[in-house]
Structure 1
Amino acid sequence: MKHITFYLDFISPYAYLAFEQLPEALLGLSYSVTHKPLLFAGLLKHHGQLGPAEIAPKRDWTYRQVLWLAHRHGIDMQLPAAHPFNPLALLRLAVACNAQGTPNRYVCETVFRHVWRGGAEAADPVRLQALAAQLVPARDANGDEVKAQLKAHTDEAIAARVFGVPTFAVDDKLFWGFDALPMLRAYCEGDAWFGAPWDAAARVAQGVRR
């Protein structure tokens, strides 16, 4: 059995698509998943990047592509009324639902669908209050312990060289993005490609630097 650590932020439409598609993508395989919410903005800051929604032409393309991918894969999806938004309340709520800060699939599904179904404001205070009432977190989502766990997930991901969401960590390998699901499946199936070719890709010399 393979164990997968799923690094995610509810702000990411690709993380939502990957979450919804993962059971089908790995159908028939033996695996377990630990969900680790993190602050995507923290990854961007560490790596000196802008988010896709911060580059105007890329923002337009991203929304069109994710809606197409949802249509193509039969995933129910509507863009929230405003995006990007501050995801901290959602991340902390999910972390607060588990003592180790690793929410189960039901919690993650509920939060993802709060954002990516219905087209409402994801960060609307009234909706957030209703979401919290539905999930009944075991701890104070605004408490220091929960905040520290969310930061720890983000720091852990950075230390593991995670640069975006969704990222699936299995053994010593990272698989980034919705389109990496077939690659993830192949690795879990024991495809021999994940040896020399995988390692060789990291040894390519860097040419021009900007």
Structure 2
Amino acid sequence: MKHIDFYLDFISPYAHLAFEHLPEALEGLSYSVAYKPVLLGALLKQHGQLGPAEIPSKRSWTYRHVLWLGHASGIEIEMPASHPYNPLAHLRLALSTSDDGSISRLVAETVFRHVWRGGEEPGDATRLAALTAQLKPKREANSDESKALLKRNTDEALQLGVFGTPAYVVDGRLFWGFDGLQMLRAYLMGDAWFDGPQWTLADQRPSLLRSSKNQAPR
């Protein structure tokens, strides 16, 4: 049986889609999953990236794309009233149900659907209070332990090379994105492609990217 570490942030619509689609995508295979909340903003900052919603034209495309993917895949999804929003409350709340940084599929499902179904405000205080009551956490969401678990998960993800969510790590190999589920399934099924040069040597070549100061004038 293969073990999958699934790194997620509830702010990510692609993580929501991947979470919902995972059982169908991996149907018939033997595997276990640890769902690990991470702070996507910290991953992006470490890698010097902007989030999709920070680029106006990409924001428009992303929202249309995820709604289309939900429609095409039969996954219920609706944009929340505000997006992007600050996901810290949801991440820490989810981790307040955990002792080791992994959350149950039920907890992940409950929080994802709180954000991505109904079109309401994710951070509304009344809704968050109801979500807290539903999850029955072991401690306060803003406790030092919950904060430490989130930082530990995020640091762990960065050490593994995770640059966005959803990300899946199996046998030290990193897979990313909703559309990466098909590739993940192939690996779990033992596709020999993953032992060949297409995987091992794909990035072993020089890059011709130049720093801005070395670029030729236009």
Normalising by structure 1, report the TM-score. Answer: 0.99
- Could you tell me how far apart the structure 2 residues matched to 1:149 and 1:157 are? 12
Instruction: Give the corresponding residue for 2:215.
Output: none
Instruction: Give the corresponding residue for 2:202.
Output: 201
* 1:166 Cα offset (Å): 0.2
1:121 and 2:103 equivalent? no
Instruction: Give the corresponding residue for 1:54.
Output: 54
Q: Deviation per CA, 1:125-178, whole angstroms, max 9, x where unpaired? A: 110010000000012211101101100100010011100000000002100000
* 1:95 Cα offset (Å): 0.6
**Structure 2 gap ranges (5+):** 212-218
Higher deviation after alignment, 151-160 or 193-202: 193-202
- Could you tell me how far apart the structure 2 residues matched to 1:209 and 1:95 are? 41
What SS is found at the alignment partner of 1:194?
A: helix
Q: Deviation per CA, 1:10-67, whole angstroms, max 9, x where unpaired? A: 0000000000000000000000000110000000110011000000000000000000
What SS is found at the alignment partner of 2:201?
A: helix
Instruction: Give the corresponding residue for 1:74.
Output: 74
Higher deviation after alignment, 197-206 or 86-95: 197-206
Instruction: Give the corresponding residue for 2:28.
Output: 28
AA aligned to 1:169 is V
- 1:1-210 alignment, distance < 5 Å: 1-196=1-196, 197-210=198-211
* 1:209 Cα offset (Å): 2.5
* 1:208 Cα offset (Å): 2.0
**Structure 1 gap ranges (5+):** none
What SS is found at the alignment partner of 1:193?
A: helix
The structure that has the greater radius of gyration is 2
Contact (CA 8 Å) 1:94, 1:101: kept in 2 or not? no
Segments of 4+ moved more than 6 angstroms:
none
AA aligned to 2:186 is A
Higher deviation after alignment, 138-147 or 108-117: 138-147
- Could you tell me how far apart the structure 1 residues matched to 2:68 and 2:183 are? 21
- Could you tell me how far apart the structure 1 residues matched to 2:201 and 2:103 are? 36
Q: CA RMSD in A?
A: 0.7
Contact (CA 8 Å) 1:5, 1:170: kept in 2 or not? yes
- Could you tell me how far apart the structure 2 residues matched to 1:209 and 1:35 are? 38
AA aligned to 2:162 is V
AA aligned to 1:118 is G
Contact (CA 8 Å) 1:91, 1:150: kept in 2 or not? yes
Normalising by structure 2, report the TM-score. Answer: 0.95
* 1:190 Cα offset (Å): 0.4
AA aligned to 1:115 is V
- Could you tell me how far apart the structure 2 residues matched to 1:100 and 1:152 are? 10
What SS is found at the alignment partner of 1:201?
A: coil
* 1:207 Cα offset (Å): 1.2
- Among all aligned residue pairs of Structure 1 and Structure 2, give the percentage whose two residues are the same amino acid: 63
AA aligned to 2:87 is P
